[in-house]
Structure 1
């Protein structure tokens, strides 16, 4: 009788161990999205991710498989920050329900640097976009951290030590739409303005489309075009400085290609619109409607910009043209 009871207890223990096995990590049943999101600690807005929190060491057993991240979120999560050959561990941090979209925060740990990513999902759990929101150990010595307020405004801060005890701080504020697009709405910076040193928030996105690339008109005037979620859309970032720096403007968002070599952007929050005209190695922009919220009162989003020659293979040339 004792042997029989011992056998039953052993079978029960084995069954319990099997039931506690993480789906997607050797179990017979594949991981579901519900299983995947349970790996993230529930959080609320407002939310902060600073350098100290990012650098906290986590047990390897808490890492999530890259295949699961690719299946439920994106296969280009670490693109632009880590090489394809570098071994990167991914750790699920926090999941947050926002007013417009939901968020999942993932930490990537590489050989020399650690990066935090904010994955944006719709209310049904469909992946829409990702933002690089935190980083330590980068080659330029900058430390990146972020906060999200209760109104879903994302502030990404980059702090870099200068000579002595001086530091340069740049703060970029983004508003997130229902479609996952993150629009740059304001920038604060106390760092030096050096000709040719423009921070481009979409620089690492794929540029496979024939019109994708960087267009310039002087040192501090840039139109950056990157691939959109499909062949009919594109991501853009515009920054300019006119009249010896007395009038500046900055705008980012998602545009649509229309007939021929034209594109257009319409701001959902105002009457601001931008018309794009692409030609061989050039783009011309014209302001349509009032874009005063994004520029000085004595200048406009307008002018001709020349495409910069790219060095080496185009970024994202072997990647899918969608930002995932």
Structure 2
């Protein structure tokens, strides 16, 4: 019996030594894709990477060897993002499962800057593509964070400090495809527009649905409706500018039609909601939830807007 226990202990010690050899990315020890996966803790969708999470310190003992990143992902992960000769550390953050792909989130730290890269592989581990989805520190005034929802839409949020009391926010939404390609589907921004000009980030999207189009109330108040990816959905962008700028707001998202002439939007991350009522060539909107994060304190998303005639293509 004692001899049997000794054999078991010997096997356990040998296994531990083998695991220790691989460590956290020692490229001299042979690694499989399963080994590489094990470095990344799996997280459920929806997932959000905040600047605070990216900025948090991670022990160097958990870092990955650069050769491991090159073996399973790409050798151009940080190309052009850091000054040459900057020592870099690579940290595995999360693994996210998609319908056709796996998403690996890698943190790269160089100097006082930390970037996050979302890397795509197929289910067998073949590298497909990557996106820079996070950034904190450095000499610039920009902070970048991201989220991935259950429909595998990547939202990259860029905050830019304009002055001591004001920050501009830009949100870019991308779809991800099974081959690793991405496509920008919408941009939402509250950056100051050029005086007298109205920026519509969804202007070029399809408007084949009978209710799609631009609904105006004056020169600087717009409800833009565009076709959704699914038949009963629509994409929208709302902006208003009143009282010489003291009353303003912007909101964009994906709503769904509840009937032939009604639509509704509910934000998944807040209580904000908008009701749309279509009638002839008009649309009326009403705030049905707290949308204070997207407008001035004393203003609301409400009012009637008249559909603008689409310009005929030459």
| TM-score relative to the length of structure 2 | 0.58
Residue aligning to 1:80: 80
Whole-angstrom distance in 1 between the partners of 2:30 and 2:92: 18
* Mapping 1:262-277, distance limit 5 Å: none
Residue aligning to 1:145: 145
Whole-angstrom distance in 2 between the partners of 1:192 and 1:153: 26
Cα shift at 1:168: 0.2
Flag as ranges the 4+ runs of structure 1 deviating above 2 A: 7-17, 22-29, 192-195, 243-252, 296-300
CA distance 1:297–1:95, shift in 2 (3 Å): farther
Secondary structure, in 3 states, of the residue corresponding to 2:187? strand
* Mapping 1:195-274, distance limit 5 Å: none
Indicate conservation of the 8 Å contact 1:103/1:121, yes or no: yes
Which stretch shows the higher mean deviation, 186-195 or 78-87?
A: 186-195
* Mapping 1:170-185, distance limit 5 Å: 170-185=170-185
Whole-angstrom distance in 2 between the partners of 1:102 and 1:26: 23
* Mapping 1:112-123, distance limit 5 Å: 112-123=112-123
Secondary structure, in 3 states, of the residue corresponding to 1:21? helix
Whole-angstrom distance in 2 between the partners of 1:27 and 1:123: 22
Residue aligning to 1:55: 55
Whole-angstrom distance in 1 between the partners of 2:142 and 2:91: 22
Whole-angstrom distance in 2 between the partners of 1:181 and 1:45: 20
Indicate conservation of the 8 Å contact 1:185/1:251, yes or no: no
Cα shift at 1:166: 1.1
CA distance 1:27–1:186, shift in 2 (3 Å): closer
Residue aligning to 1:163: 163
Cα shift at 1:11: 6.4
Superposed CA RMSD in Å reads: 3.5
Structure label with greater radius of gyration: 2
Whole-angstrom distance in 2 between the partners of 1:38 and 1:49: 20
Structure scoring higher RCO (CA < 8 A, sep ≥ 6) equals: 1
CA distance 1:100–1:251, shift in 2 (3 Å): farther
Indicate conservation of the 8 Å contact 2:193/2:199, yes or no: no
Once the two structures are superposed, what CA deviation does each residue of 1:124-176 show, in whole Å capped at 9, x if it has no partner? Answer: 22111100111001322111001111100110000122223211000000000
Indicate conservation of the 8 Å contact 2:27/2:68, yes or no: no
Residue aligning to 1:99: 99
Cα shift at 1:83: 2.8
Residue aligning to 2:68: 68
Q: Which runs of 5+ in 1 are unaligned?
A: 196-242, 253-268, 271-295, 303-324
Once the two structures are superposed, what CA deviation does each residue of 1:103-142 show, in whole Å capped at 9, x if it has no partner? Answer: 0000001102001100011222211110011100132211
Indicate conservation of the 8 Å contact 1:119/1:129, yes or no: yes
Cα shift at 1:19: 2.4
| TM-score relative to the length of structure 1 | 0.57
Secondary structure, in 3 states, of the residue corresponding to 2:164? coil
CA distance 1:15–1:165, shift in 2 (3 Å): same
Whole-angstrom distance in 2 between the partners of 1:30 and 1:155: 36
Cα shift at 1:246: 6.7
- The alignment of Structure 1 onto Structure 2 pairs a total of residues equal to 210
Indicate conservation of the 8 Å contact 1:99/1:151, yes or no: no
Whole-angstrom distance in 2 between the partners of 1:190 and 1:97: 32
Residue aligning to 2:223: none
Q: Which runs of 5+ in 2 are unaligned?
A: 206-228, 231-308
Residue aligning to 1:20: 19
